[in-house]
Amino acid sequence: MLIVLVFGTLGLFIPLPSWLRMPGPFPTWYGAMLGATCIVQFSISMIIDRRYEERVGRQFFWIIWYPLAYWLIGMLTTVVAFPKAMSKRSGTRAVWESPDRGIH
């Protein structure tokens, strides 16, 4: 995802070889349909929740940014964690060490 975003954005400003051209960071037909489906699902959930929460419609502007934040956080986590995971010495196991919580 990071590579597509980088080369798609670069392709908007400078000419790239044909093998590096990406469709760009803006959604095409499939992206627009996915976004419309997401908005419909959020709208239906807000109509259902309206019965239990007053003025839930005010959150509609903020809730549509959730999928973007979800995918960007996932991408950034992978970009940061993958090189760290691959740089460990081979043959060693990853072990979770729980922080001391004062329980004896």
40-76 pLDDT tens trace: 998 898 899 888 888 888 888 888 788 889 989 999 9
Helix (H, G, I), strand (E, B) or coil at 24: coil
pTM above 0.75, yes or no: no
pLDDT at 23 over 70: no
pLDDT at 88 over 90: no
Work out the number of other CB atoms within 10 angstroms of the CB of residue 4.
13
Q: What is the mean pLDDT of the chain?
A: 82
pLDDT of residue 51: 86
